[in-house]
Amino acid sequence: MGRRKKDRTLKVAATRRTKKVAGAPPVVTAINPRQPHEPDVLEVSVSSLATIAVEWWRLDRWAAGSDEAQLVARHVARRLARFLEDQGMEIVDLTGTPYDARLAVEVVDSVRSGSARSGPEIIIETVSPIVRWNGKVARHGQVVIGREES
């Protein structure tokens, strides 16, 4: 009757290979050893991996709760984190750290409270984390800054 779909899980190659094309972002290559009739290579741009990294970060933050749905989400977040790490991706959440204009972030808001007029600026919220691929910035972060209360 109904044909059962074959498992289309891709095994990521142990070594990362990149294809250099002028003007194109680097790509990460994965090989599919189980499906000989399928293409042997799947190319994923670093930009696409950075998007997945940001969405993992959002899922991981949401999953910090304790109900059953969030437990499943935490499991998914851990697996995504492992996959991203294997691809050379690093997600940097700067919440609570001192703000430095040299950081790879865009300040989307600056919160000023009446009692905190002096003191160092800190990142009070990470809207989107910095994403690095093999140590290089793949996507800038977005933050909200404010001053520490003295």
Q: Is 0.75 surpassed by the pTM of this model?
A: no
The pLDDT assigned to 108 comes to 96
What is the spatial distance between Cα 128 and Cα 112, in angstroms, rounded to a whole number? 21
Q: Which CATH class is domain 92-147?
A: mainly beta
Domain ranges of the chain: 27-89, 92-147
pLDDT in tens, the chain (150 residues): 444 433 333 333 333 333 344 455 555 555 445 555 555 566 788 888 888 888 888 887 777 766 777 777 777 888 888 888 888 889 999 999 999 999 999 999 999 876 656 778 999 999 999 999 889 999 999 999 998 765
The pLDDT assigned to 117 comes to 64
Q: Which helix (H) or strand (E) holds 27?
A: strand 27-31
The pLDDT assigned to 125 comes to 95
CB of 94 closer than 8 Å to CB of 124:
no
The pLDDT assigned to 31 comes to 47
